[in-house]
Amino acid sequence: MGSRFDLIAFDGDDTLWHNERSYRDAREHFRALLNRVGIDLDVEQVETMITRTEIANIRYFGYGVSSFTLSLIETAVDLTEGRVTSAELRDLVQLAKGMMSEGIDVFDGVRDTLTTLSSRGPVMLITKGDLLHQASKLERSGLQDLFHHVEIVSDKNPTVYQRILDRHGIDPARVLMVGNSLRSDILPVIELGGSAAFIPAAFNWSLEEADPPVDAHGRYFELSSITEVVGLVDRLEAAASSGVGGLRDSLGE
């Protein structure tokens, strides 16, 4: 039987475990802090201001809790015109430490999905953010033993993915990437000629939003849950063994 994939790769944050809800809680904490110093803003206003600062800071600090916290501090200084106190800034540092050490809440079905796929062939984690924090989250998730390869990167774009695949000697056309971010997990892999399965998350960072890929028939798939990944792989592998017609039949097209 023919095989379509040499590698199945997964994103980490908000694909395998909850992440964005922690940032949402932190933004609400930040809004409460501003209220205490006399600045009353609604959720949307706070979100807009923090996001604006984050966008400006990504090229300096990258992604993750550390970068997010520096953006909170800068936003607090700007909004209060320098009146924010050292105690309030320390509160933000403590907030960051709590985010770094909180428990990892893995989504239902993740372990079973990874167990099944890793028994068949190479499975890789490609996750973006702070190296120490991402490595710690993977270890605390209890999923580390299910990955043949782990790649922690500062950003996700076609160049980064191509370097990873070149290092492992894998043709992008024989890769399936699974993730919750169209911008980071889906579009770069599709651009390289690979396949991708998009699983929308309940909460998603606005900077990760993008339009679905076009001209990616038979390579782009939308799933409602990670529990559907094995079934998708089974259909695609079966289709690969029977040719193009089999692909259309297996997908119900």
Which pLDDT value is given to residue 111? Answer: 98
pLDDT tens track, the chain, 253 positions: 357 899 999 999 999 999 989 999 999 999 999 888 888 878 888 888 999 999 999 989 989 999 999 999 999 999 888 889 999 999 999 999 999 999 999 999 999 999 999 999 999 999 999 999 999 999 999 999 999 999 999 999 999 999 999 999 999 999 999 999 999 999 999 999 999 999 998 767 666 788 889 889 999 999 999 999 999 999 999 988 876 543 443 343 4
> Cβ atoms within 10 A of the Cβ of 100, count?
17
Q: Are 15 and 66 in contact (CB under 8 A)?
A: no
Distance of alpha carbon 103 from alpha carbon 197, whole angstroms: 27
Contacts of 214 (CB under 8 A, 6+ apart): none
pLDDT score for 249: 36
Partners of 7 in the β-ladder: 175
The three state secondary structure string of the chain is: CCCCCCEEEECCECCCECCHHHHHHHHHHHHHHHHHCCCCCCHHHHHHHHHHHHHHHHHHHCCCHHHHHHHHHHHHHHHCCCCCCHHHHHHHHHHHHHHHHCCCCECCCHHHHHHHHHCCCCEEEEEECCHHHHHHHHHHHCCHHHCCEEEEECCCCHHHHHHHHHHHCCCHHHEEEEECCHHHHHHHHHHCCCEEEECCCCCCCHHHCCCCCCCCCCCEEECCCHHHHHHHHHHHHHHHHHCHHHHHHHCCC
Residue 130 burial class via C-beta count within 10 angstroms: exposed 0-12, middle 13-18, buried 19 and up: buried
Prediction pTM value: 0.89
- The whole-number pLDDT of residue 123 equals 98
Tell me the C-alpha to C-alpha distance, in Å, between residue 63 and each of 36, 195, 218, 221: 28, 25, 32, 27
Q: How far is CA 66 from CA 53, 92, 97, 146, in A?
A: 14, 11, 9, 28
**123-128: strand order across its sheet:** 149-153, 123-128, 7-10, 175-179, 195-198, 220-222
For the chain, domains (ranges, CATH) are 7-18+105-250 (3.40.50.1000), 20-101 (1.10.150.240)
